[in-house]
Amino acid sequence: MIERRRFSRIIYQAPATLVQGDYKLATCIQDLSLHGLLLWAVDEPNLTKDNLIDVSFTLPDSDITIALSATLVSQTERILHLKIDHIDIESVGHLRRLVELNVGSDELLHRELEHLVDLGDSVEG
């Protein structure tokens, strides 16, 4: 199988809350990238692919919360694959730093950030 990922995924485990409309779900992040997240749901998920999902999680030993909106790409039982659709500038700065500390390569991180900008331009343009 050919690897199609353009973003490095880092192992990062932390509790996260997902909200879709009135539905709220407790999850645990398994890994993440600048483009998406892999999560494990505590309870059987009842999410739809049609509506955005608000995701929030707090960095350990801090008061920093990362908030973003994502879409459900796929679900296998309680494993959820989400694609980040929108993230505010403050949260993307924290997410970037988190990835930067775990990727270990400034060159790789900058290449991924450039690709992320290119994706945004192609979607908006």
The single residue listed with the structure tokens 């996260």 is 16
Instruction: Give this prediction's pTM.
Output: 0.76
* Cα(78)–Cα(39) distance, integer angstroms: 8
Contacts of 18 (CB under 8 A, 6+ apart): 24, 25, 27, 39, 41, 47, 53, 54, 55, 80
pLDDT tens track for 62-98: 999 999 999 999 999 999 999 999 999 999 888 888 8
- Domains of the chain with bracketed CATH: 10-124 (2.40.10.220)
